[in-house]
A = this chain, B = another copy of it.
Amino acid sequence: MDKIKDLIKKLGSLNYENLYQEDFFHTWDKSQDELEAIFTVADALRELRENNISPKIFDSGLAISLFRDNSTRTRFSYASAANLLGLEIQDLDEGKSQIAHGETVKETANMISFMAEVIGIRDDMYIGKGHTYMKNVSEYLKEGYDDGVLEQKPTIVNLQCDIDHPTQSMADILHVIHEFGGVENLKGKKVAMTWAYSPSYGKPLSVPQGISALFTRFGMDVVLAHPEGYEIMPEVEEIAKENAEKYGGSFTKVNSMEEAFKDADIVYPKSWAPFAAMEERTDLYAKGDQAGIDELEKRLLEANKDHMDWTCSEELMKTTKDGKALYMHCLPADITGVSCEHGEVDDTVFDRYRVPLYKEASFKPYIIAAMIFLQKVKDPEEMLQKLLDQNKNRVSK
């Protein structure tokens, strides 16, 4: 239990009260202390659970999930987190295709929230839409709360939007912190966030964007590598650059996977669609231009094929720091010879890193639980101490 006590003490040294009652949209909306508080609470909740101490803080209440895209991993992470804290999952299934407008969103947001504590939203399909949608829901809920319609204000957890994927990137970095033995050991480490070939099409940009914007906050040297034409959103590159300056690391862009991998401590090779093409697609969907969409898909798949050599091969892995860079992925990966003929990564590389990859994913439920905990609990240190003291078994013994 000493570990939990240390975590509570650490929490006490941080300035994080602004997380209370606030939504979580992007990591860059939050201060360094606030992110640290989330990592600390995530570790504390894990420690409690692994010591069979229940961290349940709700006796009732709903955790609403709104997924505009298929999801298994994030859905189960969110469900696990909500259940751990005592909330019951209730899915809002609006249908994937339906893009709701102002009045409808305002009304629905309020109608479902009379007894809701948190709303987890995944809306990553259309550039320029996902984050905007979440902001709208947030405003409507605040209005409902201020007008006395809602007794409590449900907070929003961004489970992936068009711009950021904070529960992914924060689980990723928490994994790195644990692998490297502490946040203080991240300084100067080289991270290769690189594009990789995949035979599928239109993968969201929120992962490379989220990693670029978050990993630059820990004094690391982040290298973003992709073929020409596969640019990410310029706004996010700007954030990454500013972070690098502020936190004493660097953010570099290259057009070569080899250059990025060279001596890297961490590699994150992953396919994504070009930002400009995703903007184009959004417009085509808005116009309902199916012929244009089909043509774009064909064009993009063809373009991808020019870069089949962008793959995380054994050869490339050998060029990393001591040939042993930490391989990361948000999963599922396109594995060469397993899930496809040519993919993002060699099967032997993937196999060797399976256990750390699965552990990487295991942080997500705790990151989400920590976000909810810090949004809803007025005095988190006191509450963690109380949970520790009351020592209620999660599973009866």
A149 surroundings in chain B (CB, below 8 A): 355, 358-359, 362
Does A29 count as interface, using CB distance less than 8 angstroms?
no
Does A129 count as interface, using CB distance less than 8 angstroms?
no
Does A104 count as interface, using CB distance less than 8 angstroms?
yes
Which residues of A (94-127) have their CB < 8 Å from a CB of B? 102-104, 107-108, 110-112, 114-117
Which residues of A (329-388) have their CB < 8 Å from a CB of B? 331-332, 335, 338-339, 355, 358-359, 361-362, 365, 376-378, 383, 386
Given A62-B79, A332-B107: A355 touches B147 (CB 8 Å cut-off): yes
* In the bound complex, CA of A12 to CA of B376 (Å): 37
A285 surroundings in chain B (CB, below 8 A): none
Looking at the assembled complex, report how far the CB atom of A43 sits from the nearest CB atom of chain B, in whole angstroms: 14
Measured CB to CB, the nearest residue on chain B to A363 is B114
A57 near B396 (CB under 8 angstroms)?
yes
A56 surroundings in chain B (CB, below 8 A): 59-60, 396
A361 surroundings in chain B (CB, below 8 A): 110-111, 114
A62 surroundings in chain B (CB, below 8 A): 76, 79-80, 83
Can you pick out 30 interface pairs between chain A and chain B where the beta carbons lie within 8 Å of each other? A50-B151, A56-B60, A58-B394, A58-B395, A58-B396, A59-B392, A59-B393, A59-B394, A60-B83, A60-B86, A72-B111, A73-B112, A76-B112, A76-B114, A77-B114, A79-B90, A80-B116, A88-B88, A102-B338, A104-B339, A107-B332, A110-B358, A110-B361, A111-B331, A114-B361, A147-B358, A148-B355, A148-B359, A149-B359, A376-B395
Looking at the assembled complex, report how far the CB atom of A324 sits from the nearest CB atom of chain B, in whole angstroms: 19
A394 surroundings in chain B (CB, below 8 A): 58-61
Measured CB to CB, the nearest residue on chain B to A115 is B80
Looking at the assembled complex, report how far the CB atom of A175 sits from the nearest CB atom of chain B, in whole angstroms: 12
Question: Among the listed B79, B114, B393, B396, which residue makes an inter-chain contact with A365, where contact means beta carbons less than 8 Å apart?
Answer: B114
* In the bound complex, CA of A129 to CA of B396 (Å): 36
